[in-house]
Structures are given as structure tokens and as C-alpha cells.
A = this chain, B = another copy of it.
Amino acid sequence: MSRTEVPPKPKPMTESGPEGSYCPPLGERPLTAGEAERTARMFKALGDPVRLRLFSAIASHEDGEACVCDISDVGVSQPTVSHHLKKLKDAGLLTSQRRGTWVYYRVEPSVLAAMGRLLAPAG
């Protein structure tokens, strides 16, 4: 399958905020147990080389989204790719959408921004 012509192509991606759980920069004050629990989930999701490559591939792909078939060459089997994508999705880092035959993944920008703030120079 060549996958050159995209089907309907909808979804301009406007609203997106299932977040809500704020955490201060890591250097601002000691995190509470609850904050650490939530935050660790995100870091953990990116703590695997395969997931990091998948995430990076999607984030750097055209239009900020990518079909699974576009990013499946990371050295592991297809079920494993699917498994990792699910984990990234469960961590709130990705969203998925089926369009015709293919499934497209895109990064959740708000979460990425939140993680960036965590690592800010923290004065």
C-alpha cells in the first residue's frame, strides 16, 4: 500500500486539554507524592528508546501527525510498535484518530509544554 492520497482529511485540531494537573518547576519546591505520581507517568512514557523514537517521529512529521505505517521502522515488530503507541497515548502524550484504513497519531501540545515548564531554569 502506497498511502499517498489521504482520505477525507478532517480535524484541524483546535481544542485539546484533558490535562488540568499542574506541576511546578522541579526546582521551585519539593513535589508532593501526588504531583510526583502524575508527573512521573509522563517521564516514564518517554523513558524508553523505542517510544522516544516514535514520539520524535510523530512530532517532527508533516502537520504534526503521522500514520503508523510512516513510523513503524524502529527495529521492533509491528505489535510492539502498537503497544508503545498505546502507552504514549495512555500517558496523555499522543492522541489517535482513524481515517479510513489508517490510524493517525499526533502529539498533545499542552502536555509537551507542561513537561517543558517542569524542566525550566527553576529559580
Most buried by B among A26, A44, A51: A26
A43 near B46: Cβ-Cβ < 8 Å: yes
Map CB proximity to B onto A30-59 as digits: 1 under 8 Å, 0 otherwise: 110100110111011111111111011101
Map CB proximity to B onto A56-100 as digits: 1 under 8 Å, 0 otherwise: 110110001000000100110000000000000000000000000
For chain A, the bracket of interface size reads 35 or more
28 contacts between A and B (CB under 8 A): A26-B55, A26-B56, A26-B112, A27-B64, A28-B60, A29-B60, A30-B56, A31-B52, A31-B53, A31-B57, A33-B74, A33-B75, A36-B49, A36-B56, A40-B46, A40-B49, A41-B47, A43-B44, A43-B52, A44-B44, A44-B47, A44-B48, A45-B47, A47-B47, A60-B123, A116-B119, A116-B121, A119-B119
